[in-house]
Amino acid sequence: MTARCLRLGLAVLAGLSLLLTGCSAGTATPTATAAPSRTASATAPRASSLPVVREAELPPEARTTLARIRAGGPFPYAKDGTVFSNFERILPPRKRGYYHEYTVRTPGERDRGARRIVTGGEGERYYTDDHYESFREVVADEAR
């Protein structure tokens, strides 16, 4: 009986150890499937290996949000500019406070909807239209 309890305890500890090291590895591979790339930029420097979308291919509301970001505001939603924590681990891992999120208005929605632009501390920009389930890196139109 003692040997059985000891084996069970060791198995639980081993499983917990694997779980904890797997969760804190920092090199996690995204589990969500990213939206397929509509375009690829062969020459532009890239911040990630995510699919890309040219700024001109974004919905008009996303381009408006990008223009507001460049201008420093004003932003229509109170949560615009708040820290995006990257809990989904789809974006490249960075320290807390590196990413900030902005709402992309969705016509017909009464609330903020699912669309966002997330910016990084070094100028990178990402677009999601499914509330963080997938991202595409936004590249400049001239980068193509």
The residues annotated as belonging to the active site are 101, 131
Where residue 60 falls (left for φ over 0; alpha for ψ -120 to 50; beta otherwise) is: alpha
**Number of other residues whose CB lies within 10 A of the CB of residue 105:** 17
Rounded distance between C-alpha atoms, residue 141 and residue 57, angstroms: 9
**Number of other residues whose CB lies within 10 A of the CB of residue 139:** 22
